[in-house]
Chain A
């Protein structure tokens, strides 16, 4: 896993798959039912992104979708393809391309981390010596270097999550499915996990499906988002595109602003609203941000935060839930 550092290599800020890459997951009228209950109804979508967020209220069918794509549940009708392999006929190929990090505890308590990840690697088809090498590398990569010889039963919750991540990447999958990866982690561990997911995404070697309740996590790591509600698709879009479309909305946090400031803004023709000490406004035609700064300079207002509509995903989610 060691690579020569190339000085001056540009960092990719927009995570999009290479052009011409096959769609990651294709759903065609997929339905899944348990007994008489329909859990997923006629899902049709074509997911392309580098990192796809899977959102939805509890019981919307997120876990069921993941479990169906992994072959744990049988589809009742319709079909789905992962990397062009059909879930009914090509499940073995799909499973060899996928790494899965389940939400719940998943480990074998009397084994050391290295032995565990090595065994998992061998089960995925790696020869024993390669599995051992890659087990060590995976554990180093996720940050369990010092603890890798200890029994998994002695690990803290954060460490167990990282061990789960290590077993998901040891065999070099093309798709990584993460189910609530930051569950129960304290703030430092959460940051590590998010950073690691971003790193993995940026290597472009693995596509990611991230299932989470925390909108901020999805916003920080994913470029596309699929929202399920009641077993159906409520929304599917590319977050970056949505963000770029929001260029006329402005959000400010200020010190020293009073009613005069908002009045002055409205005089320019911009609608503006205050919510929870944030000022949200829509730039009218012909007005841009420097005009707002001029007003601020005139009134001695310090603008300590400014961005063009940050909470895109929250809005998308709320709209999806209402429809």
Chain B
């Protein structure tokens, strides 16, 4: 398929250490987030996608291009790594310009593209200062600009928002969304799951080198059969609400919150529950808030990957 990034039965071992094992993925355009604990294979997957590392087994194709063909691959792909390392002695502009020249375009074109990329990440004033004097956030932004300078169709970004303040985060997220809207494939790895929720179209969850889930978060959640949907309601009379809910067979379990101002409901049929809730809200129960308790990336993460003990 020439319109997807395809991993066919891909494994990567570093000697006897496992990078990823038996990965099968087909990534469509839009924003895809890679999520997983440290060491689960996210960076390996990105390195495999960009051809920096060859798979021990299996085939990878990025929009029809093979990953061992960097000449053609990097025309359509931009990569921003998580490592904070730069060639010594270069200014921001020189850094971008020299890497653009490597792609074979002529000098004036490269200069134009470099400045355009610098403007997109708001580093115009600092472009003539040495990268070594940049703050952490600025270094992150110049790395990002290097990835998108040549307008690639595929953007592979390893923890792109690391070190950025809230404004810069919002700006970069808008940038990624704009790119995705134009049909680009934006692949981001992140630990901040509530941001993943907001920006991603689909999510790939990794654990210990295996893909444990992929797809849209809500649909993934729907497939986790063992865990019924959990919904949190805050209202003034939780017990009255609970009594009405227990009367119906869609309710599996209800816990009343410690502060007597809310409850947690487990149900197999969220839709029916919501319709019933509308009725209950009209008839005297004042609802302060409704929130799906486990419909987000964080809860899916905890179900599938678990909150492992930190000390391993």
Q: Which residues of A contact B (CB under 8 A)?
A: 11, 13, 55-60, 143-147, 156-159, 162, 184-192, 213-216, 255, 276, 288-290, 293-294, 296-297, 300-308, 314, 317-318, 321
Contact = CB atoms under 8 A, between A and B. Distances in A.
Interface size class of B (residues with CB under 8 A): 35 or more
A158 B310 contact: yes
B278 A297 contact: yes
Given A188-B308, A293-B281, 19 more contacts: A11-B259, A56-B165, A143-B311, A158-B310, A159-B310, A162-B310, A188-B310, A191-B298, A215-B166, A216-B194, A276-B198, A289-B286, A290-B281, A290-B282, A293-B277, A294-B278, A303-B274, A306-B287, A307-B288
A304 B270 contact: yes
B166 A304 contact: no
A186 B38 contact: yes
Interface string B282-312: 1000111111100100100110011111111
B291 A307 contact: yes
Given A58-B138, A147-B311, A162-B310, A293 B271 contact: no
Contact of A188 (B166, B292, B295, B307): B307
B100 interface: no
Nearest to B165: A57
26 contacts: A55-B165, A56-B165, A58-B137, A58-B138, A58-B163, A58-B165, A58-B168, A143-B310, A186-B37, A186-B38, A188-B37, A190-B192, A191-B307, A192-B310, A215-B166, A216-B192, A255-B274, A288-B286, A297-B279, A303-B274, A303-B277, A304-B231, A304-B295, A305-B292, A306-B287, A308-B289
Interface of B: 35-38, 135-138, 162-169, 191-194, 198, 231, 258-259, 270-271, 274-275, 277-279, 281-282, 286-292, 295, 298, 301-302, 305-312
Contacts of A305: 290-292
A159 B258 CA distance: 32
Given A58-B165, A144-B310, A255-B271, A293 B278 contact: yes
Contact of A304 (B165, B290, B308): B290
Most buried by A among B135, B305, B310: B310
A302 B274 contact: yes
B198 to A, nearest CB: 8
A290 B165 contact: no
A255 B165 CA distance: 33
Most buried by B among A213, A289, A290, A300: A213
Contacts of B275: 297, 300, 302
Contact of A314 (B166, B191, B274): B166
Given A57-B165, A58-B165, A306-B289, A187 B35 contact: yes
A319 B312 CA distance: 43
Nearest to B231: A304
Contacts of A289: 281, 286-287
A192 B307 contact: yes
Contacts of A55: 165-166
Nearest to A58: B137
A213 B169 contact: yes
A294 B281 CA distance: 8
A297 B290 contact: no
B298 to A, nearest CB: 6
A39 to B, nearest CB: 13
The 8 closest A-B pairs by CB, nearest first: A302-B274, A293-B281, A297-B278, A147-B311, A58-B137, A307-B289, A57-B165, A186-B37
A128 B161 CA distance: 43
A194 to B, nearest CB: 11
Contacts of A57: 165-168
Contacts of A294: 278, 282
A303 B277 CA distance: 9
A159 B137 CA distance: 24
A255 B277 CA distance: 14
A317 B166 contact: yes
A293 B289 CA distance: 12
Given A185-B191, A300-B275, A308 B288 contact: yes
